[in-house]
Each structure stands twice: as structure tokens, then as C-alpha cells.
């Protein structure tokens, strides 16, 4: 494992501590938006990295965060068709 993948795993584990009604709290929404932005940057710049560790990432993200899970699952390595 690369240190970067470990950092993203820790970042995604933060989501497990969100309450069920996290959308009602601006603090949680801001953290979630920041995680989405960081993930989008990595998916755009280094899609091979995300597709290499997608299973680890998906296992850590709770099911209720569908948008984040879909972003990671939509990442494909260059040269492979989806």
C-alpha cells in the first residue's frame, strides 16, 4: 500500500462517524463537500490510482453516501473501456 491510499482510507473512515441526519448540520455538509472535491481531483488527475484501490475505498464508505461511491466506481483506468 502507498501512503496516499492510507490517507484516503482514513479520510473515508471519517464518514462512518457521521450521524444518520448529517445533512441537517452545516459542519458535516462542509466536510462531505471537501471529501467529494478531494476525491474528484484525484479521480481526474490519477484515475489509475483510484481504480487500483477502488475496492478498499468502497468498503470503507457507508452505503448512504451514494454520490461518493458512484464517483469512485465510475473511475476507469486509461485505455480500458467502461
Tens-digit pLDDT profile for residues 24-71: 999 999 999 999 999 999 999 988 888 888 888 999 999 999 999 999
DSSP label of 64: T
* 3-state SS assignment for residue 20: coil
Kindly report whether the global pTM for this prediction surpasses the value 0.85: no
Q: 9 versus 77: which is more confidently predicted?
A: 9
Q: Provide the pLDDT confidence category of residue 79 given band limits of 50, 70 and 90.
A: low
Q: What's the pLDDT at 82?
A: 47
- Asked whether 76 and 47 are in contact (CB, 8 A), the reply is yes
Q: What's the pLDDT at 51?
A: 87
Amino acid at each position: 500500500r502507498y501512503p496516499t491510499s492510507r490517507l484516503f482510507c482514513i479520510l473515508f473512515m471519517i464518514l462512518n462517524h457521521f450521524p444518520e441526519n448529517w445533512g441537517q448540520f452545516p459542519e458535516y455538509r462542509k466536510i462531505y463537500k471537501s471529501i467529494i472535491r478531494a476525491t474528484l481531483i484525484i479521480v481526474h488527475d490519477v484515475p489509475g490510482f483510484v481504480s487500483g484501490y477502488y475496492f478498499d475505498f468502497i468498503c470503507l464508505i457507508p452505503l448512504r453516501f451514494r454520490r461518493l461511491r458512484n464517483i469512485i466506481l465510475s473511475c476507469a483506468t486509461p485505455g480500458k473501456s467502461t
